[in-house]
Structure 1
Amino acid sequence: MYVQQASKSKCKVAIKPLELENTKEPPLNLYKPKGPYTASIVSVERIVGPKAPGETCHIVIDHGGNVPYWEGQSYGVIPPGENPKKPGAPNTVRLYSIASTRYGDSFDGRTASLCVRRAVYYDPETGKEDPSKKGICSNFLCDSKPGDKIQITGMQPCKKP
């Protein structure tokens, strides 16, 4: 695995997941919107009760150890499809805070978790859901299945611990 640290140097340094705690700067912008990393969905689990308003999902992503992060950082997710506001252009990046520690869900540095609330819109006059106004990325993530591919960018700056 290679990590470019947030420094003046542009060199890439080999780092093992457990060595991430020893790096002086968090990894930043390893993958950008024009060159995202393709990761895989490991699991999607609803984490609120059946009577809770809305739906929030715990989503585990396998990045193979290629997109390390520090606590407090976020991944950019590019949902599939075309940007409805710019026909012919891809959807824009949506940022989601990473919910797991830098060691991932299996403590091997290969996964990251996102907790995502599904964005839905209810018409105030009819009280019915309007699917044309649903959140593109949150619904893509909450509807994903294990093995589905996901385009991620990362990492956005965070405060130093």
Structure 2
Amino acid sequence: MKKIMLLGILLPYLAFSQKYQNFYYEKITKRDDFIIKIESYDSKSGVYYRINCGPYSAPFEEKIIIPLTKKEKTDLWKQKVEFGDFAFGECTVIEKITVKSNFYFENEKLPPKCIQTQLQKEQFIKLSMKLRLILESKAEYRNTFYWEFIKR
């Protein structure tokens, strides 16, 4: 019994003491069940990949390496740990457009179902936006996708 109590006390401490875990982010957008955009990022390799597809055009692929620092990975990991112990997976359907996004941290299984509460959705959006802001702040991203930063 003492071991179980000790484990209950130490387990949260051990989770927060870990500096970071690598992760994989993926976002798939479909229109009428046809994939129109895939965006992914692998923190272990630093590969950021996106592909735009159209029903009547050839796919347009973009792939670059954007390494994250240990501090950036640690910040994302800390935010994930604050949210609790569930795998992040969001599914949004608006009319004929479906968006599925997932964060897979090391040693996590694929999420069995989509986020179910508003709180989980808000947390997922915060985590996704934090990653997006980090990636967009990198010189590799800004140089490759320069047209996204031209003011109109």
TM-score, reference length from structure 1: 0.23
Name the structure with the higher helix share. 2
Instruction: Answer 1 or 2: which has greater strand percent.
Output: 2
> Higher Cα Rg: structure 1 or 2?
2
Tell me which of the two structures has the higher relative contact order, counting C-alpha pairs closer than 8 angstroms and 6 or more residues apart: 1
